[in-house]
């Protein structure tokens, strides 16, 4: 679903804040609801009944062009959110929601992209006064801050550095994903959650693709950070990932103490081999 030049857009804000954010470059949006229930066989009955095992959760997912000041990546994670999705002359307002995961992908010759997943635990309103388009325009759209989309990444616009010393050459792409383990808590007789907390650390995964000429696999013990002789790309305390444009540095991410969990090399006839490495760890 294209948002630019159309009448579909999404707005997010921290709960209770007067500042709203209009997401820029949204490519597609989807809402899904799943009932949590289990089947129960009743004694003496010839049919199966169902018990509700938990509240229905709405999941909102969207993908967008990554922005220099991307609000998902910089401000809204770890926060209770409210927001609105406007489509045509209608609007859907949601409350008590949290970002449960997002990923950033960067490829040379293209603009970086972001994918985001939000769980809506509270009200999802399309027919009440809160879902009225004029209400959304007054409370969400008019005060909204707009993001600035990133530029195309040039051929040398992605840089990967290990332990501030070893740099990968010919990097083609990388992705960084984060997952947030939000758990809601409900009061007896309540239809909505009383609160939600982060139960556990934020997990991260980094994938890197780069061209190679004489790449070889090491002994499997190289996956162990304590193994003697493991190379820097397999035994690194810090990995720095940066995105640059023709005018300068745009974004830098640093991950620490992530372990190598996957290694792959692929090639085609008359083409340069591509090595793919995946690291996993906890956000520090």
At 271, list the tokens.
């083409």
Residue percentage of the chain with pLDDT more than 70: 83
pLDDT tens per residue, range 149-197: 888 899 889 999 988 888 888 899 999 999 999 988 887 777 678 888 8
Specify the pLDDT at position 255. Answer: 92
Rounded Cα–Cα distance for residues 276 and 224 (Å): 18
Full-model pTM:
0.83
Mean pLDDT throughout 13-29? 87
Q: Please, are residues 160 and 175 in contact by the beta-carbon 8 Å criterion?
A: no
Rounded Cα–Cα distance for residues 233 and 210 (Å): 12
pLDDT tens per residue, range 194-207: 888 888 899 999 99
Instruction: Map tokens 């820097």 to a residue.
Output: 232
Specify the pLDDT at position 248. Answer: 87
Specify the pLDDT at position 3. Answer: 40
**pLDDT(139) > 80:** no
Specify the pLDDT at position 224. Answer: 52
Mean pLDDT throughout 60-84? 89
pLDDT tens per residue, range 77-90: 888 998 888 887 77
pLDDT tens per residue, range 94-124: 888 999 999 999 999 999 999 999 999 877 7
Residue percentage of the chain with pLDDT more than 90: 28
More confident residue, 21 or 125: 21
Specify the pLDDT at position 261. Answer: 87
Specify the pLDDT at position 46. Answer: 64
pLDDT tens per residue, range 210-238: 998 877 766 655 555 554 445 666 667 89
Q: At 2, is the pLDDT very low, low, confident or very high (cuts 50, 70, 90)?
A: very low
Mean pLDDT throughout 253-282? 87
| Strand residue runs (E) in the chain | 8-14, 21-22, 26-41, 48-65, 81-87, 90-107, 113-120, 124-125, 145-146, 158-162, 166-167, 171-179, 182-186, 193-198, 203-211, 238-245, 248-256, 259-266, 274-282
């Amino acid at each position: 679903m294209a948002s630019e030049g159309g009448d579909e857009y999404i707005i997010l804000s921290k709960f209770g804040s007067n500042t709203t954010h209009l997401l820029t470059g949204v490519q597609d949006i989807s809402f899904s609801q799943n009932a949590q229930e289990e089947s129960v066989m009743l004694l003496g009955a010839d049919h199966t009944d169902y018990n509700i095992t938990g509240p229905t959760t709405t999941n909102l997912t969207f993908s967008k062009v990554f922005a220099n000041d991307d609000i998902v990546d910089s401000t809204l994670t770890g926060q209770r959110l409210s927001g609105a999705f406007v489509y045509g002359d209608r609007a859907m307002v949601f409350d008590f929601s949290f970002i449960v995961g997002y990923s950033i992908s960067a490829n040379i010759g293209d603009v970086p992209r972001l994918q985001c997943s939000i769980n809506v635990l509270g009200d999802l309103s399309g027919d009440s006064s809160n879902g009225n388009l004029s209400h959304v325009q007054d409370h969400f759209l008019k005060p909204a801050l707009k993001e600035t989309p990133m530029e195309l990444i040039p051929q040398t616009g992605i840089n990967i550095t290990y332990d501030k010393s070893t740099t990968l050459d010919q990097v083609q792409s990388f992705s960084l994903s984060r997952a947030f383990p939000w758990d809601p808590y409900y009061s007896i007789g309540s239809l909505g959650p009383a609160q939600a907390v982060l139960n556990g650390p934020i997990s991260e995964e980094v994938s890197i693709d780069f061209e190679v000429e004489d790449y070889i696999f090491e002994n499997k013990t190289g996956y162990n950070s304590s193994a003697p002789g493991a190379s820097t790309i397999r035994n690194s305390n810090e990995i720095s990932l940066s995105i640059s444009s023709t005018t300068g540095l745009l974004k830098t991410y640093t991950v620490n103490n992530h372990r190598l969990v996957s290694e792959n090399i692929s090639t085609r006839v008359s083409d340069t081999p591509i090595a793919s490495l995946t690291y996993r760890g906890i956000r520090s």
